[in-house]
Amino acid sequence: MTGCIVETQEVIDYCAARNIKADIELIKPDQIDQARQRVVNKDVHDRFVIDFASQKKA
């Protein structure tokens, strides 16, 4: 079983109070295929975060 919402919030609060954050790699939407390939190749050390704000507006 996993924790309930209250326990999850406690962990989030604990991390926030101690400035514990996930390591991320910010990628653009056109880099998703490359990121997927890196996951397949087990060449990933951080979480990928897709920066949709970097997309050009039509």
Asked, for residue 4, whether it belongs to a domain, the answer is no
Structural domain count, the chain: 1
**What single-letter DSSP state applies at residue 24?**
E
Residues near 11 by beta carbon (within 8 Å), at least 6 away in sequence: 3
Asked, for residue 47, whether it belongs to a domain, the answer is yes
- Domain extent for 58: 22-58
The whole-angstrom distance between residue 19's C-alpha and the CA centroid of its chain comes to: 16
Do the beta carbons of residue 29 and residue 7 sit within 8 Å? no
Q: At 48, which helix (H) or strand (E)?
A: strand 47-50
| Higher per-residue pLDDT: 9 or 1 | 9
In the predicted model, is pLDDT for residue 57 greater than 70? no
Q: 46 forms bridges with which residues in the sheet? A: none
Structure confidence by residue, pLDDT tens digits, 3-52 = 799 999 999 999 999 999 999 999 999 999 999 999 999 999 999 999 99
